[in-house]
């Protein structure tokens, strides 16, 4: 996939966000008010104009409140306009000195043709004076009457903004249009504020209903526009221009038609709309009650303009026919039986209402009207012509259809998005739920980004016979961590507390009441196993990855009492918080020159991928894949990437135990010969323990895990596509389980015979990830191969995490053929790292003659003590030894933690004749090495190219020694050069400068 294609998909995801930025581009920000001192005093003191406008904007959560500048005369207004050039709108009163408002408007249009001018009357009797100026009114954009209601100012401002933006916003954002046809200044000055008030209130309701920030912002700017016409010809012209976007028409009956007053202009307009198939609600208004019969004959609504309840009647029309406000469910007689205020509540209530209510609303198109008011135009158009007869007369089928439509509306709007948690639902697939505000942290950012991108690309079904998904995920933003830390008050004392004291202190502190309430609602729906993961602000960043430093907990979530399940979940969250303050984490933070208090922790709650098999639960495959391969073999390149997979939960891979390693671009190529593959094959696996619902999480991730042998997996039926059989007689592996003999996890059916397209999927996701992040990436994933179509279960790869993998891009520092190997202490073509290290004076090596892999725990204690000494002196060193550094299997090497050797800037693994172990695979250990720019070198036994000059090394003066280790300190530095593009790395002897 090239960058241009990826950019197209990213822009597709951003489309909604780009739309809301594009809408309502022209705003009224500066108003010039032209009024006498007396009128200004009345506005500001009696009417409190600025205060009331501010109040209206604040009450409706409108952020773009305009600023008002007052001048007393028309002459002063012209001077102000000419000098300052900043005003968007001029509002003039009737009495403004020597100039009339009409002369002022004409002059403004001549000098500043793009500035609209509105005349505001504050005395109703002034309407009659307008007749003598009828020929000069053309320079005014409109005339309004103020009767003390501050909403008129909001309406005037929004009226101008709608005129400016309607053409663009309807085309780009499919924004709806309400047309008001009225020639009476008195009446439209009453109607327009009421219309805008209802529109703004509806907009606020819809904003509160939205689950994503992007949708909330879109709602603010995509409210319906209100256009006004004073004549029949203008009304028809606007209807024709905006016919696709027309939401409703509210029209007087008597107004001008081509220059003459027409007593049936509104009737003519209504008939025209019907003749042109405009399917929109119409409200006729007149002071003549006798016209109500004509309105009824036309099947449109009617209000009397002199009714004492005029504004209430107008509001009732808006709510009933335009779908604003609550949806009121009625019985067949139109009597209310229930109501809902959101699409989510509507979906739930639609399942419960009586058949007669569903038929009542369906036949009157109330469902489609309400959808239109909620912005779902295309869906509304689709369901509007459908009635029970289209479902064979079955109300149940129509109900099922409508419920599905409303569910699809919600899912379509939120797929790939981060949505705010709501108690009715914990979120659907492809949604990430936000339980608390704040940053998502490193892991959270990565998974949210990839989820959005893959959903936009419709990646889920890209590969035949496989689905690709993100597990159901919720996150707790960093604001909860801030609240928690204020209560615990341990940051200053963190350095003095032991790990156990720290854990107990965190467990004794309560989470916020708001989060506890949300977790209770969350667990009403979530009954599957969940993983609780850390997501620190610094974690998995492109600068300092923190992989494996903080803790993860897997919860069976199977206790019969929800209160206990919630208590266990809260404990896991608190212990994730605590993990930032445990000894290993503190040492790591010190190593990278940060302070513990600089970190903030978000928490990810994620569905555990897998299937239940009796009392245990696990996926068929877990693994890690990287887009950059530090150990390419054969014709493979670094850029071809690498993957390590295992049966069961991914903790096996994270611990660096035996896995199946392959290149996603060349899955058929066996990296190890068959005999070595048998020796290094996985023999056990991790599963989640479903047989117990009580556990001590302070013991770490393994507190809820079981370590099972392959016989259990074969009994469960999960080995079928993963294992081969070793034929000792023929010294060969036979794929499948048809034969007698040791089971070897080769994943042949997956990698060789492509029973599931794992390699192809990983290749494409790594490619997408690397292009999206701009640097190589690492992903964690799990695969469930269950295929039960009736239950909606299909073979699926789940992406659990994605993070940047630091790889320097510098070119080769030196050509290998230019090297004089006599100058070198070490040469390897299996090096990890890139760059030059020139400040190392210390080297610690494990005496090969004293190495015994049954005594590695003693060796661990020795190197830890030596490392502590180096910490005290703040010196970095080179560490050399056989087997795997950092393995959790003490028989494969010294089982150090990262904190035990964290001053080692270069780590070397070498082989022995009697002890040949494949290079380390532990992803967390490696990720820490990479983040520190540390070198990691492998020198195989009997290599034809790679070597360590042991004779020279043993001849150097000894600074310190233990039972197994020797510490060498040189007066001149060891120079380390790492050539990242080809894996060649060298260490110069300290005297060779």
CB within 8 A of 104, min separation 6: which ones?
34, 74, 77, 78, 90, 92, 96, 117
Question: In Å, how far are 34, 87, 621, 675, 677 from 659, measured between CA atoms?
Answer: 80, 70, 11, 15, 10
First vs last C-alpha separation in the chain: 46
Query: 883: Cβ–Cβ under 8 A, 6 or more apart, which residues?
Result: 851, 853, 856, 892, 893, 894, 909, 915, 917
Given this chain, do its domains 1-23+175-324 and 27-168 carry the same CATH topology?
yes
**Torsion on CA atoms 950, 952, 958, 962, rounded to nearest 10:** 10
User: DSSP states of 388-421 as a string?
Assistant: GGGGTT-HHHHHHHHHHHHHHHHHHHHTTSEEE-
For domain 432-608, the CATH superfamily is ATP-grasp fold, A domain (3.30.1490.20)
Longest Cα–Cα distance in the chain: 116
Rounded Cα–Cα distance for residues 941 and 926 (Å): 22
In this predicted structure, the answer to whether residue 18 has a pLDDT above a threshold of 70 is no
Least reliable range by pLDDT among 572-576, 643-647, 846-850: 846-850
- Beta bridge mates, 930: none
Strands 246-252 and 831-832 turn out to be unpaired
Q: What is the pLDDT of residues 945-967, one digit of tens each?
A: 899 999 999 999 999 999 999 99
Q: Please give the average per-residue pLDDT across 663-670, as a whole number.
A: 89
Residue from 534, 550, 552 nearest 622 by CA: 552
Residue 819, classified by CB atoms within 10 Å of its CB into exposed (0-12), middle (13-18) or buried (19+), is middle
Fold of the 1-23+175-324 domain = Rossmann fold (3.40.50)
- 767-776 core/surface letters (b: 16 or more CB in 10 A; e: else): bbbbbbbebb
Distance CA 247, CA 260 (A): 28
**How many residues are listed for the chain in this entry?**
993
621-626 and 642-646: which strand pairing?
antiparallel
Helix (H) or strand (E) run with residue 379 in it:
helix 377-383
DSSP structure class, residue 766 = H
- pLDDT given at position 519: 95
Count of CB atoms within 10 A of residue 989's CB? 19
Q: Looking up tokens 């992803």, which residue turns up?
A: 923
Confidence of residue 233 (pLDDT cuts 50, 70, 90): very high
Share of the chain above pLDDT 70, in %: 81
Output 171 or 607, whichever has higher pLDDT.
Answer: 607
Helix or strand (DSSP H, E) at 958: strand 958-961
Does the structure show a pLDDT above 70 at 745? yes
Torsion region of 689: left, alpha or beta (phi above 0 gives left; psi -120 to 50 gives alpha): beta
- Each domain of the chain, given as residue ranges in start order, spans 1-23+175-324, 27-168, 327-414, 432-608, 613-804, 816-988
pLDDT in tens, 626-638: 998 765 666 778 7
Residue 829 has which token pair?
């073509």
Q: Which CATH architecture has domain 27-168?
A: 3-Layer(aba) Sandwich (3.40)
Res 923: pLDDT: 47
Using the predicted structure, report yes or no on whether residue 877 has a pLDDT greater than 60: yes
3-state secondary structure of 909: strand
> Which tens digits make up the pLDDT trace of 469-520?
999 999 999 999 989 988 886 544 455 778 888 899 899 999 999 999 999 9
Q: How far apart are CA 149 and CA 142, in angstroms?
A: 18
> CA-based angle 251:256:261, to the nearest 5?
115
Give Cβ neighbours of residue 563 (< 8 Å, ≥ 6 apart).
Answer: none
CA distance 709 to 684: 4
Across the range 253-263, mean pLDDT stands at 93
- Residue among 473, 472, 482 nearest 437 (CA): 482
CB 640 within 8 A of CB 665: yes
Min mean pLDDT across 15-29, 341-355, 458-472, 870-884 is at 15-29
Confidence band for 847, pLDDT divided at 50, 70 and 90: very high
- pLDDT at 932 (0 to 100): 62
Confidence label for 456 from pLDDT (cuts 50, 70 and 90): confident
- pLDDT over 70 (residue 378): no
Q: What is the overall mean pLDDT for the chain?
A: 83
State the residue for tokens 């939205």.
Answer: 210
| Region 823-837 average pLDDT | 85
């Amino acid at each position: 996939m090239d960058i241009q294609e990826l950019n197209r998909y990213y822009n597709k995801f951003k489309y909604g966000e780009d739309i809301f930025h594009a809408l309502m581009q022209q705003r009224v920000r500066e108003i010039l008010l032209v009024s006498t001192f007396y009128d200004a005093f009345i506005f500001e003191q009696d009417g409190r104009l600025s205060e009331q406008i501010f109040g209206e904007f604040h009450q409706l959560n409108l952020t773009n409140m305009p600023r008002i500048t007052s001048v007393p005369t028309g002459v002063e207004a012209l001077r102000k306009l000419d000098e300052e050039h900043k005003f968007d709108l001029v509002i003039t009163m009737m009495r403004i000195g020597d100039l009339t408002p009409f002369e002022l408007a004409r002059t403004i249009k001549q000098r500043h043709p793009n500035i609209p001018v509105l005349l505001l009357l504050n005395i109703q009797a002034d309407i009659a004076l307008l007749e003598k100026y009828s020929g000069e009114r053309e320079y005014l954009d409109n005339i309004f009457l103020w009767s003390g209601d501050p909403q008129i100012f909001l309406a005037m401002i929004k009226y101008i903004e709608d005129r400016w933006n309607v053409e663009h916003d309807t085309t780009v954002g499919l924004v709806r249009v309400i047309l008001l046809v009225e020639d009476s200044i008195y009446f439209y000055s009453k109607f327009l504020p009421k219309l805008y008030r209802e529109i703004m209130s509806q907009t606020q309701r819809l904003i509160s209903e939205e689950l994503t920030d992007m949708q909330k912002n879109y709602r603010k700017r995509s409210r319906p526009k209100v256009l006004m016409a004073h004549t029949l010809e203008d009304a028809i012209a606007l209807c024709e221009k905006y016919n696709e976007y027309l939401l409703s028409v509210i029209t007087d009956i008597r107004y001008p038609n081509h220059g003459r007053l027409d007593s049936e202009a509104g009737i003519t307009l209504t008939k025209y709309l019907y003749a042109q198939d405009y399917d929109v609600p119409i409200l006729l208004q007149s002071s003549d009650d006798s016209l109500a019969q004509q309105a009824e004959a036309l099947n449109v609504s009617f209000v009397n303009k002199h009714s004492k309840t005029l504004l209430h009647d107008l509001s009732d029309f808006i709510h009933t026919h335009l779908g604003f406000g609550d949806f009121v469910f009625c019985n067949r007689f139109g009597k209310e039986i229930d109501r809902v205020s959101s699409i989510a509540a509507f979906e739930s209530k639609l399942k419960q209402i009586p058949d007669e209510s569903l038929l009542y609303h369906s036949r009157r198109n109330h469902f489609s009207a309400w959808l239109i008011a909620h912005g779902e135009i295309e869906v509304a158009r689709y369901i509007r012509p459908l009635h029970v007869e289209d479902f064979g007369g079955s109300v149940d089928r129509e109900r099922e259809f409508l419920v599905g439509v409303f569910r699809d509306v919600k899912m379509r709007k939120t797929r790939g998005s981060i949505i705010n948690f709501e108690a009715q639902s914990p979120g659907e697939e492809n949604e990430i739920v936000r339980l608390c505000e704040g940053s998502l942290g490193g892991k959270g950012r990565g998974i949210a980004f990839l989820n959005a991108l893959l959903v936009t690309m419709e990646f889920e079904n890209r590969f035949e016979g496989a689905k690709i998904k993100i597990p159901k995920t919720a996150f707790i933003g960093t604001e909860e961590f801030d609240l928690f830390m204020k209560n615990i008050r341990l940051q200053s004392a963190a350095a003095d507390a032991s790990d156990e004291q720290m854990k107990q202190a965190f467990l004794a502190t309560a989470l916020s009441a708001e989060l506890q309430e949300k977790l209770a609602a969350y667990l009403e729906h979530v009954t599957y196993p969940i993983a609780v993961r850390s997501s620190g602000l610094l974690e998995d960043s492109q600068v300092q990855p923190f992989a494996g430093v903080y803790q993860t907990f897997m919860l069976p979530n199977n206790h019969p009492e929800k209160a206990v399940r919630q208590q266990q979940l809260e404990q896991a969250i608190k212990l994730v918080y605590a993990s930032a303050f445990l000894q290993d984490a503190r040492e790591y933070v010190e190593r990278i020159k940060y302070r513990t208090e600089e970190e903030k922790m978000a928490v990810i709650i994620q569905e555990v991928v897998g299937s239940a098999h009796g009392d245990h639960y696990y996926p068929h495959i877990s693994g890690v894949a990287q887009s950059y391969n530090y150990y390419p073999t054969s014709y493979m390149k670094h850029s071809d990437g690498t993957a390590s997979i295992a049966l069961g939960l991914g903790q096996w891979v994270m611990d660096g135990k035996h896995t199946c390693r392959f290149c996603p671009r060349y899955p058929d190529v066996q990296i190890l010969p068959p005999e070595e593959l048998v020796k290094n094959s996985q023999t056990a696996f991790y599963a989640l323990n479903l047989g117990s619902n009580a556990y001590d999480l302070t013991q770490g991730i393994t507190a809820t895990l079981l370590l099972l042998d392959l016989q259990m997996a074969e009994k469960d039926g999960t080995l079928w596509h993963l294992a081969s059989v070793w034929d000792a007689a023929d010294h060969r592996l036979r794929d499948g389980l048809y034969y007698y003999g040791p089971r070897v996890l080769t994943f042949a059916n997956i990698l060789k015979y492509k029973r599931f397209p794992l390699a192809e999927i990983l290749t494409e996701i790594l490619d997408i990830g690397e292009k999206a992040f701009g640097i190589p990436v690492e992903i964690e994933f799990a695969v469930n191969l269950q295929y039960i179509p009736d239950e909606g279960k299909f073979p699926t790869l789940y992406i659990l995490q994605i993070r940047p993998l630091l790889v320097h891009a510098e070119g080769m520092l030196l050509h290998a053929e230019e090297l004089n190997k006599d100058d070198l202490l070490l040469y390897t073509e299996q090096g990890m790292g890139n760059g030059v290290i020139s400040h190392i004076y210390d080297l610690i090596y494990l005496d090969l003659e004293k190495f015994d892999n049954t005594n590695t725990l003693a060796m661990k204690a020795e190197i830890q003590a030596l490392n502590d000494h180096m910490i005290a002196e703040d010196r970095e060193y080179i560490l050399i030894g056989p087997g795997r550094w950092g393995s959790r299997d003490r028989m494969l090497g010294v089982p150090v933690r990262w904190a035990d050797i964290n001053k080692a800037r270069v780590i070397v693994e070498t082989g022995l004749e009697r002890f040949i172990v494949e290079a380390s695979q532990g992803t967390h250990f490696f990720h820490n090495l990479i983040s520190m720019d540390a070198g990691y070198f492998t020198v195989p036994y009997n290599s034809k190219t790679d070597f360590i000059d042991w004779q020279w090394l043993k001849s150097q003066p000894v600074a310190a020694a233990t039972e197994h280790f020797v510490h060498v300190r040189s007066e001149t530095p060891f120079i380390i050069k790492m050539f990242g593009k080809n894996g060649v790395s060298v260490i110069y002897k300290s005297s060779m400068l």
